[in-house]
């Protein structure tokens, strides 16, 4: 991404523009105007005004509008896939996956939001005399700030529950990939969603910072470094936030794992989106009994990967999106090799396919002195480390500043679940990678440097609401009283204290 200035027709101050590039050619495919801080403020005001009417609709009415949008998207999927591919360089299957996940998130919240956000009765100090309920009210205007690696999936999977809960949205997509968000939002307007309910604001961190300054909640997805800056500003403004940040996800392979299913599973998990996934398999720990045959199978399947810029669902891996990630991938491989690692598959650029193509790469003889086992690589690399026991694998998997997602391969499903509980991550998938995040009923998200808060599941919509507790006292059996501890109240409290030992539901 680069910016340029364009003089307005009336000769007024030049308008800053984003130049968006196609990673397959590095040619500029379009320009989009940068939203100024004043325009962000104006958009926030419109969003705040629109929120009243939007929140006055029922959850079902809002969900129906989003389902209409989902249906339109499903009809236009070929067009949507083209938009996503043009600014990311990912293959058809990767772009389709973005649409598929968003569609399943719409279905989940359309079917469950009304139940999750229904007022909930709670116990009171004095049963019968008092009743109480918790209500879930929209926070107001929600800011969604998103990265470039899943330019459709990430913003929309986060804003669907926010909108269904009754919030209006300021969406700041990545400056690298603004057209996917722009496309999705224009389709929302076509589906009947009022324009000011969801507005897209373009630009780099300056636009993002202006959004943070004007909203009531921030759902940020991006790097840990920028997440910290955004969290600080949210703290200054005393507004809540969720942070979906970087990862260094581990996969643990037990000695009883199915060789072929594990080899293909690991390769899919490491190479999906050319490794540019927060929940990519960035390191694998394999029990020594299965290590040699598994590495052989991984080499076998890696050699069959179809990498290129072509169309069709049988292309397994496309281009990387940015030079920065490509260069970091090379630097991590070079650091590992200098410290004793061996590249057994790939390891090189593929300029014959396009300027940002990099081969699916497998490394062995790696250890935790290497950047590739400790820093987020964000490239198509699978480093594999032999371990002598499950305990060693768990210790190494947890030896990270990050704690986003993880996976375990084993035929012993019960044991796999027990081992999963020992991993310090927001989710774990067994015999699959990344699947928990693709399951909208499950809350997922990070710990430590991987973030704060959860997306999806009940947690992923409740975060967009402020709770209001309402207590009603019927005044039954009460007299006017100035003391806080009158004899009647004291007797009732003492009685209830004993009764609740035997009847805890009271």
Active site residues: 244, 278
Residues in the chain: 506
Residue nearest to ligand NAD (CB): 208
Q: Which residues are registered as beta bridge partners of 284?
A: 251, 384
DSSP letter for each residue of 201-244:
---SHHHHHHHHTT-SEEEEES-HHHHHHHHHHHHHHT--EEEE
Q: Least distance in Å: CB of 448 to ligand NAD? A: 12
226 scored as a contact of ligand NAD (CB under 6 A): yes
Residue 145 C-beta: closest distance to ligand NAD, Å: 5
> By CB under 6 A, is residue 246 in contact with ligand NAD?
yes
Q: Which is nearer to ligand NAD, 88 or 167 (CB)?
A: 88
C-beta closer to ligand NAD: residue 176 or 257: 176
Any bridge partners for residue 171, and if so which? Answer: 144, 200
Binder of ligand NAD out of 43, 81, 145, 394 (CB under 6 A): 145
| Piece of 183-191, 215-223, 337-345, 347-355 that binds ligand NAD (CB under 6 A) | 215-223
* 445-464 positions binding ligand NAD, by CB under 6 A: 446, 451
Of 365, 393, 428, the C-alpha closest to 254 is 393
The 10 Å Cβ neighbour count of residue 444 is 24
Q: Is residue 440 a contact point for ligand NAD (CB under 6 A)?
A: no
360 to 139, 272, 275: CA distances (angstroms) = 44, 10, 9
Q: Does residue number 59 form part of the binding site for ligand NAD (CB under 6 A)? A: no
Contact with ligand NAD (CB under 6 A) among 89, 94, 151, 222: 222
Q: Is residue 223 at the binding interface for ligand NAD, with CB under 6 A as the rule?
A: yes
Q: Which of residues 376-415 bind ligand NAD (CB under 6 A)?
A: 376, 404
> β-strand 241-244 against 217-221: which pairing, if any?
parallel
| Alpha carbon 138 to chain centroid, angstroms | 21
Is 250 near ligand NAD (CB under 6 A)?
no
Q: Which stretch binds ligand NAD (CB under 6 A): 36-44, 93-101, 143-151, 472-480?
A: 143-151
Does residue 208 belong to the site contacting ligand NAD (CB under 6 A)?
yes
Among 174, 251, 377, 410, binds ligand NAD (CB under 6 A): 174
Using CB under 6 A as the binding rule, whether residue 278 contacts ligand NAD is answered as yes
| CB of 215 vs ligand NAD, minimal distance in Å | 11
Q: For residues 404 and 453, what is the distance between their CA atoms, to the nearest angstrom?
A: 11
* CA nearest neighbour of 333 among 310, 308, 361: 361
Shortest Cβ 488–ligand NAD spacing (Å): 55
Asked whether position 33 contacts ligand NAD by CB under 6 A, the answer is no
- Sole window of 85-93, 245-253, 412-420, 492-500 interacting with ligand NAD (rule: CB under 6 A): 245-253
Considering only residues 212, 294, 302, 465, which one is a binding residue for ligand NAD as defined by CB under 6 A? 212
Q: How far apart are CA 179 and CA 161, in angstroms?
A: 22
Does 37 participate in binding ligand NAD (rule CB under 6 A)? no
Q: Measure the CA–CA gap between 90 and 152, rounded to whole angstroms.
A: 12
Task: Give min distance, CB of 30 to ligand NAD, in A.
Answer: 18
Furthest-apart CA pair in the chain: how many Å? 88
Q: For residues 348 and 176, what is the distance between their CA atoms, to the nearest angstrom?
A: 24
The string of DSSP letters for 311-365 reads -STT--B---S-HHHHHHHHHHHHHHHHTT-EEEE--SB-TTT-TT-B--EEEES
Query: What is the contact mask toward ligand NAD in residues 77 to 116, using x (rule: CB under 6 A)?
Result: ----------------------------------------
Q: Exposure pattern of 227-237 as b/e (b: 16+ CB <10 Å)? A: bebbbeebeee
| Cβ pair 376, 246 in contact under 8 A | yes
Q: How far is the CB of 460 from ligand NAD (least distance, A)?
A: 12
Q: Which residue's CB is nearer to ligand NAD, number 343 or number 436?
A: 436
- Span of 92-100, 182-190, 226-234, 468-476 interacting with ligand NAD by CB under 6 A: 226-234
Alpha helix segments (H runs only) across 89-123: 92-116
Question: To the nearest whole angstrom, how small is the minimum distance from the Cβ of residue 291 to ligand NAD?
Answer: 28
175 lines the binding site for ligand NAD (CB under 6 A): yes
Q: Choose between 162 and 387: whose C-beta lies nearer to ligand NAD.
A: 162
Q: Among 36-44, 93-101, 170-178, 360-368, which window interacts with ligand NAD (CB under 6 A)?
A: 170-178
The residues pairing with 15 across neighbouring beta strands, listed in sequence order, are: 6
Q: 198 and 159 in contact (C-beta within 8 Å)?
A: yes
Binding-site member from 62, 90, 172, 248 for ligand NAD (CB under 6 A): 172
# of chain residues touching ligand NAD (CB under 6 A) = 29
Closest CA to 362 of 273, 291, 433, 298: 298
DSSP 54-76: HHHS-HHHHHHHHHHHHHHHHHT
Cβ atoms of 87 and 22 within 8 Å: the answer is yes
CB of 229 to ligand NAD, least distance (A): 5
Whether 141 contacts 167, CB under 8 Å:
yes
What is the distance between the alpha carbons of residues 170 and 174, in angstroms, rounded to a whole number?
13
List interacting residues with ligand NAD (CB under 6 A).
145-149, 154, 172, 174-175, 204-205, 208-209, 212, 221-223, 226, 229-230, 244-247, 278, 376, 404, 446, 451
């Amino acid at each position: 991404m680069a910016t340029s200035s364009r003089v307005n027709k009336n000769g007024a101050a030049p308008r800053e523009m984003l130049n968006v590039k196609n990673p397959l050619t590095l040619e500029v495919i379009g320009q989009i105007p940068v939203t100024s801080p004043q325009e962000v403020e104006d958009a926030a005001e419109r969003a705040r005004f629109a929120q009243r009417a939007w929140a006055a609709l029922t959850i079902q009415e809002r969900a129906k509008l989003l389902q209409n949008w989902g249906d339109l998207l499903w009809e236009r999927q070929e067009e949507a896939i083209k938009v996503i591919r043009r600014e990311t360089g990912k293959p058809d299957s990767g772009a389709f996956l973005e649409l598929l996940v968003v569609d399943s998130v719409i279905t989940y919240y359309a079917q469950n939001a009304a139940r999750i956000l229904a007022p909930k009765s709670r116990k009171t100090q004095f049963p019968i005399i008092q009743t109480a309920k918790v209500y879930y009210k929209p926070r107001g205007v929600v800011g969604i700030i998103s990265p470039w690696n899943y330019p459709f999936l990430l913003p929309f999977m986060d804003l669907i529950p926010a909108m269904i809960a009754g919030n209006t949205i300021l969406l700041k997509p990545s400056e690298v990939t603004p057209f996917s968000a722009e496309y999705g939002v224009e389709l929302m307007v076509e589906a009947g969603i009022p324009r000011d309910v969801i507005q897209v604001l373009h630009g780099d961190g300056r636009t993002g910072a202006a959004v943070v300054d004007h909203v009531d909640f921030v759902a940020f997805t991006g790097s840990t470094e920028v997440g910290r800056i955004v969290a600080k500003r949210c703290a200054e403004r005393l507004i809540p936030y969720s942070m979906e940040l970087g990862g260094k996800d581990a996969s643990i392979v037990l000695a009883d794992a199915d060789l072929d299913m594990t080899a293909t599973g690991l390769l899919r998990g490491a190479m999906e989106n050319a490794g540019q996934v927060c929940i990519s398999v960035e390191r694998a720990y394999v029990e020594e009994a299965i290590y040699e045959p598994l590495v052989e199978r991984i080499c076998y399947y890696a050699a069959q990967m179809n990498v290129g810029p072509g169309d069709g669902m049988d292309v397994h891996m496309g281009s990387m999106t940015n030079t920065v990630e490509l260069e970091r991938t090379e630097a991590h491989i070079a650091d590992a090799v200098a410290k004793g690692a061996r590249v057994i598959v790939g390891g090189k650029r593929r300029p014959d396919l396009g300027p940002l193509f990099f081969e699916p790469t497998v490394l062995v003889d790696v250890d935790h002195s290497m950047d590739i086992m400790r820093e987020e690589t964000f490239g198509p690399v699978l480093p594999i480390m032999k371990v002598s026991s499950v305990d060693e694998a768990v210790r190494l998997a947890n030896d990270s500043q990050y704690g986003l997602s993880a996976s375990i391969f084993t035929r012993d499903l019960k044991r796999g679940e027990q081992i999963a509980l020992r991993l310090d991550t927001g989710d774990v998938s067994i015999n699959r990678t990344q699947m928990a995040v693709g399951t909208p009923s499950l809350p997922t998200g990070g710990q430590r440097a991987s973030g704060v808060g959860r997306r999806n599941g009940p947690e992923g919509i409740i975060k967009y609401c402020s709770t209001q507790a309402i207590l009603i006292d019927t005044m039954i059996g009460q007299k006017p009283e100035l003391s806080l501890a009158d004899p009647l109240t004291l007797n009732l409290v003492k009685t209830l204290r004993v009764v609740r030992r035997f009847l805890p539901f009271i």
